Structure 1
Amino acid sequence: MIPTNLINTKFESIFGWIALEKSEKGITRCSLPQIDQDNCIEETRKWNSENTIETALFAEEIKKLNDYLEGRNYSLSDISLDISRAPKFYNNVWEVCRSIPIGKTRSYKWVAEESGSPKAARAVGQAMANNKITLIIPCHRVVGSDGTLTGFGKGKTRLDLKLDLLKLEADYLLEH
């Protein structure tokens, strides 16, 4: 069931344009940063929500995301999410993913074990691939068992961004 009253907005960050969508319960989507506003608009055309230019409705989330991307704050765990449409397994995986400390990485196998399905590392990969709330559900912290960077942003197309986010978090830890 699709939540009613979904709205979305776009904002510019130092990493590029980001789109957010929310319901009454919380954020339902957060796009990866896009190179320009047109690409961001194209991304939101796929969503089932009404566009709003009223960014005040997203002020708290935008501030927290900008603070994170600019290295001023690392915690996005207090942003309310609405993941009620996702399968229970995905919800479990995403909650485990949100528990991975800033600047740390964990393997798909570790996430599977922590989510109560120790043999489901591949299914964890599917949950990460279906994560519509990237950045806030930090799937960039999930890596291969040997520590290699694996898929991010619809396959391997945004591994550069995954690396940039991990570097950002490592730099934050060094400074604090």
Structure 2
Amino acid sequence: MKFTINGETRETEADIRASLLDVLREHLHLTGTKKGCDHGQCGACTVLVNGRRINSCLTLAVMHQQDEIVTIEGLGQPEALHPMQAAFVRHDGYQCGYCTPGQICSAVGMLDEVKKGWPSYVSESLETSSLDDEEISERMSGNLCRCSAYPNIVDAISEVAGLNPAARQTVGEKA
């Protein structure tokens, strides 16, 4: 199988029944993407495929040979962090760090969804949505953090989204 991952063409021989997650970790040695539940319930395996966030444990790798795949390793490097990675560091948006790669990839994909005007379950209307803590929490609800770093994760996402921290409404403060 041949893939474009993090801007590079990569080839591997893997069973056509292998998940994208297993091919990334076991065959291509991109271990930043984590295997959490292996059932699509925790979000630790979130990667970007053609700019959209997906749970890589729920899709077959063979289905993505023509796609652009971005893992946490492709977002930034230690000397040149992606803005979301840098915000997670500044806001301590991680504790044990296990869920962090999936959280960051999901946050990057989520902000792109907001930019495109896609509503969520808690969006005020189908035409417009304001990005507040409740909206961020809803949009990130597929990514679990057992350490409960959620407030810091929301702060990091808010910073990258350009929200003024003083003007932000937290859950329960809506007028």
What is the TM-score with the length of structure 1 in the denominator?
0.31
**Greater RCO, 1 or 2 (C-alpha within 8 Å, sep 6+):** 2
Tell me which protein shows more helix as a share of its residues: 1
